[in-house]
Amino acid sequence: MRSALIVVDVQQSFTRRPYFSAERVPAFLAAQNRLIEGFQAQGLPIVRVLHASPGGDAGDPFAPASGLVKPLEGLRDFSAALEVRKTRHSALVGTGLDVWLTEQGIRQVVVSGIRTEQCCETTTRHASDLGWQVVFVPEATLTFDMALPDGTPLRADDIVARTAAVLDGRFARVLDVAQTLAHVRSAD
């Protein structure tokens, strides 16, 4: 089964958001880079997805005019088999990614990137609903602390755990980096 890695929104834009915290970034980048290295070593395609706000001005860090819609510093350099810019949460909406995956004979996608519960989870659910087998790699995703509607803090670790729990066995197979690379090796 041919697999592709989808690297979702690992971009400089997030460093300008008020909720950004660099605390979890080193561990995230180490995992994300191991995943990229593993796919490169196996000669498997890697898709770069960047979020770009339509019509935004230079003050919007997700607007192309900001100069921040580019890979996050520290992300391993890779030659993307495809690069898309999205304007929605799912990388499969309006980007042509679904067409490309089909044309390439990709039957399984591996989802990683930023934000765990937002664009990564949405892309995972969407890909599953469209018929792809999906591997979700929480270790290679990043999110930030949030607050519940009543103001109660919600830690990033809890968000990641919740996302993994709701996706596993329903929309995706949830694996760590080492398990993912072993799984992809045996599947391709």
* Per-residue pLDDT reduced to its tens digit, 71-88: 999 999 999 999 999 999
Task: Provide the pLDDT for residue 103.
Answer: 97
SS3 20: coil
Q: For residue 85, give the nearest of 100, 70, 106, 101 by alpha carbon.
A: 70
pLDDT exceeds cutoff 70 at 40: yes
- pTM equals 0.97
Which residue shows structure tokens 């018929």?
Answer: 131
Task: Provide the pLDDT for residue 172.
Answer: 98
pLDDT exceeds cutoff 90 at 58: no
Q: Is the dihedral of CA 9, 156, 172, 3 positive or negative?
A: positive
Per domain, the residue ranges of the chain are 3-107+114-187
Q: For residue 125, give the nearest of 139, 106, 109, 101 by alpha carbon.
A: 109
The pLDDT > 70 percentage for the chain reads: 99
Other C-beta atoms closer than 10 Å to the C-beta of 5 total 29
pLDDT exceeds cutoff 80 at 1: no
Task: Provide the pLDDT for residue 57.
Answer: 85
Q: For residue 40, give the nearest of 51, 49, 32 by alpha carbon.
A: 32
Measure the CA–CA gap between 95 and 141, rounded to whole angstroms.
21
Amino acid of residue 172: A
pLDDT exceeds cutoff 90 at 55: no
The pLDDT > 90 percentage for the chain reads: 95
Amino acid of residue 138: P
Task: Provide the pLDDT for residue 54.
Answer: 87
CA triplet 48, 54, 55: central angle to 5 degrees? 140
Q: Establish whether the linkage from the previous residue to 115 is cis, with ω within 30° of 0.
A: yes
User: Could you read off the pLDDT of 104-139 as tens digits, one per residue?
Assistant: 999 999 999 999 999 999 999 999 999 999 999 999
SS3 36: helix
CATH fold of 3-107+114-187: Rossmann fold (3.40.50)
Q: For residue 74, give the nearest of 11, 20, 17 by alpha carbon.
A: 11
Q: Are 49 and 95 in contact (CB under 8 A)?
A: yes
pLDDT exceeds cutoff 80 at 188: no
